[in-house]
Chains A and B, each alone.
Chain A
Amino acid sequence: MRQAEFIFGIAVSLTGLGALVLALGMRMFAGGIPGPGLFPMIVSSVLTLLGAVLAWQSTKASGPEVRAVGRVGAVEARHRHLSTDEGQNTPNPWRAVRVWIGFAAVVPLLYSLGFTLTMMVLVAYLLFVVEGRRTVAAVAAIIAIPAVIYLLFVELLGIALPVGLLKLGILGI
């Protein structure tokens, strides 16, 4: 059984089921006219069924991946890599989790620190902690990336970005 697919199928089914329950609480028809619940009911019903089908499929042995039109080449690896180094290390999902957690953790800082400082914290976490690069180039990137992007979008393009509580008036800090 392909466990991840099974879990995903069940999760999809449960999501569909939850959406269906909520849709049934909306009006299907009002005065003979389709109401707000009709379309969500149809979609969530189909979704519930599809999730169950995927979960069932995952319990069967998988065959080769095919398309109706065109072949599936070896180049379409799920884990695409960006280097052609032969000494590639194996994929480590925890690196992705660490990046995501760091990204999520800095979002509340936008209220107090503003865009520039918060992004400096994010880039510092990514380069120092996740990538383990404590070099001059990394320090330069930590300062330059948020600053340049702030100047480009705010000063040049006039797009507003979060300003922190310090209100120093420099780079939105």
Chain B
Amino acid sequence: MAVLGQLYDGFAIALTFDNFVWMIIGSILGTLIGILPGLGNPAAALAILLPLTLRLDPTTGLIMMAGIYHGAKFAGATTAILLNIPTETSSVVLCYDGHELSKKGRGGPAMGMSAISGFIASTVGVLALTFAAPLAAKLALNFGPPEFAMLMLFGLLLVVTLTGKNPVKGLISMMLGLLVATVGDDIFTGTERYTFGMISLTDGIEFLVLTLGLFAVGEVLVNVERRAGKSEFVAPKKLRDYLPNWQDFRETRVAIAIGSVVGFVIGAIPGGGSTLASFVSYAVVKNTSPQRDKFGTGVMAGVAGPEAANNSEAGGAMIPLLSMGLPGNASTSVMLAALLLFGIQPGPMLFTSHPEIAWPVIASLYLGTVVLLVLNLPMIPLWVQLLRIPYWLLYPIILVLAVVGAYSVRGSIFDIWVLMGFSAFGYAVRKLSVPAAPMLMAFVLGPQAEAALRQSMILSDNSPLIFLERPISAAIVALIVAMVWFGVTSRRKQRRLAVTAEISH
């Protein structure tokens, strides 16, 4: 019951006038940036607005980030349903049925269902988080450097092996992130690494610069390859047309329940992420539905289930993020970076040493979906009009904002050159289908991973067997092996099925 009291305190802080206003501003800005064609990735939206959030005090800044995150997610669902354009991989499944519903003239109710199922699932996620997070924090107290090192490896590999299309490319992205994270002074010894004598590199590569280059400018460079015309789509004009009917609710209640549970559980796994949550949710909802043969042709449950998972995943993801400092995807990597930039070290002690940070952030995740439901849903007809803004007008704005973001970190034009470098790299990897998210996650986790590894070696007199000798660490190693085995065998099976399907066509 003590946790309910702490959650109540969290709501009380989140609902102060200043915090609530900034949460609304975050939701609106997140939706605005998220819905703009060509930028909607929540990680990019968070990165672009990071200079603003960092100006606020930590609690308010993080509450605003929760609002931005939800706003961008909501916007991502909108573009997936209306335009068949997923802004991040977790929105891909929304295209299967969401866009089909849009083609049938039911895009409005699909978007409404996306918001409502998200709200319900978020409620479930926050309630589960309230009780699970302190338990996880207690469990994390038993974790030492070997356990954290293996857990980070597990989280990074999970992203690459299960949802990546090419594990080798995903691993390359991850290793590059770890390598870039070593640039600068070694925190243990002060030795300069990979600075090539440049003073500007002694503090390392700035996180915001890397993110803007990879996710914002890199995306622009891919999109400008085509001279884009106007986005043609049909969207309802009245709010009433965005609301699902009772038949929709009857058909989706099981899907919402499944999505809520699946999303939370997967989000709670380090590295789980919304991509895995939405894919697994879609698969489970489809396989348990009496209408399974109709999935992919425009079934409302095909929207409700994944969206529920997407939103409850945010609650689950707070468990490893806040209690262990382990992000599940690119967006939570940005939030982790923000915590670190605020000078807050996530970990088991966060709930005891900074409850004024942890609980308001948890409360704001819930309040963010309430804001979306009450504010953004009625404004959908307005947001949808933003989709008609031509890209030739938008991408110069994105590039100028990227310059602002890069310069604002240290007031150094060198960082803008670094932005140029990462934007070219981001463009190249996108063209080669190399995922950028593992690089970002690895970059954020890199210093901690290295510290955990070195501390483990110190504890064991430089014997790597320590990772197998400690029970929790050994169990995580076993999980890693099982996960890699599953990934390899599942991929082989999927490839056989895909080849068979190609031949039969």
Partners in one complex: yes
* Residues on A with beta carbons closer than 8 Å to the beta carbon of B165: 65-67, 72
> A69 touching B163 by the CB < 8 A rule?
yes
Given contacts A95-B225, A99-B220, A64 and B499 within 8 Å (CB-CB): yes
Residues of B within 8 A of A161 (CB): 404, 407-408
User: What are 7 A-B pairs with beta-carbon distances under 8 A?
Assistant: A16-B179, A64-B502, A68-B161, A70-B163, A78-B431, A79-B225, A82-B391
Our pick among B279, B282, B413, B487 for the contact of A111 (Cβ within 8 Å) is B413
- Inter-chain contact A123/B396, CB cutoff 8 Å: yes
A window 100-152: CB within 8 A of B:
100, 103-104, 107, 110-111, 115, 119, 122-123, 126-127, 130-131, 133, 137, 141, 145-146, 149
Counting from the closest, the 3 A-B pairs by CB-CB distance are A70-B279, A36-B186, A64-B498
Interface status of A169 (Cβ within 8 A of chain B)? no
Tell me if B194 and A22 are in contact (CB < 8 A).
Answer: yes
CB-CB under 8 A from A92, the residues of chain B are 225-227
Q: How far is the CA of A49 from the CA of B84 in the complex (A)?
A: 38
Establish whether residues A119 and B400, one from each chain, have CB atoms under 8 Å apart when the complex forms: yes
For B194, what are the chain A residues with a Cβ–Cβ distance below 8 Å?
19, 22, 40
B171 contacts A88, C-beta separation under 8 Å: no
Given A34-B454, A133-B392, A145-B396: A70 touches B168 (CB 8 Å cut-off)? no
Interface residue ranges of B391-426 to A (CB < 8 Å) = 391-393, 395-397, 399-401, 403-404, 407-408, 411, 413, 416-417, 420, 423-424
Q: Is the CB of A89 within 8 A of B432?
A: no
A104 to chain B, nearest CB (A): 5
Of listed A40, A88, A90, A160, residue having the most chain B CB within 10 A: A40
> Looking at the complex, which of B92-100, B135-143, B374-382, B468-476 is the stretch in contact with chain A?
B92-100
Given contacts A54-B172, A162-B413, contact A83 B179 (CB under 8 A): no
User: A164 near B: Cβ within 8 Å?
Assistant: no
**In the assembled complex, which residues on chain A have CB atoms less than 8 Å from the CB atom of B179?**
16, 19, 40, 43-44, 47
What residues on A are CB-neighbors of B163 within 8 Å? Answer: 67-70
Cα A171 to Cα B64 in complex, Å, equals 28
Shortest distance in angstroms between B155's beta carbon and chain A's nearest beta carbon? 16
B455 to chain A, nearest CB (A): 9
Using known A-B contacts A4-B431, A100-B427, determine if residue A82 contacts B408 with beta carbons closer than 8 Å: no
B232 touches which one: A72, A85, A96, A153 (CB < 8 A)? A85
Known contacts A43-B179, A54-B169, A153-B404: A63-B396 contact under CB 8 Å: no
Indicate if the CB atoms of B86 and A75 lie closer than 8 Å: yes
Question: Using Cβ atoms and an 8 Å threshold, which residues of chain B touch A88?
Answer: 226, 229
Within 8 A of A (CB), among B10-65: 37-38, 51-52, 55
Q: Decide: B85 and A82 in contact? CB cutoff 8 A.
A: yes
Q: Which of B354-406 contact A (CB under 8 A)?
A: 391-393, 395-397, 399-401, 403-404
**What 0/1 pattern do residues 282 to 320 of B give for CB contact below 8 A with A?**
110000000000000000000000000000000000000
| CB < 8 Å neighbour of A123 from B161, B400, B423, B434 | B400
Name the residue on B nearest A158 (C-beta): B55
Which of B221, B420, B462, B502 is within 8 Å of A32, CB to CB? B462
Q: Hey, which chain A residues are within 8 Å of B99, CB to CB? A: 75
Known: A66-B491, A67-B491, A72-B165. Is A95-B227 also a contact (CB below 8 A)?
yes
Q: Quick check: A69 and B186 within 8 Å, CB to CB?
A: no
A159 within 8 A of B: yes
Cβ–Cβ contact A157 & B171, under 8 A = no
Instruction: Say yes or no: B404 contacts A91, CB within 8 Å.
Output: no
Are A73 and B96 in contact, CB atoms less than 8 angstroms apart? yes
Q: Which residues of B contact A40 (CB under 8 A)?
A: 179, 182, 193-194
Instruction: Confirm or deny: B228 has a beta carbon within 8 angstroms of a beta carbon on chain A.
Output: yes
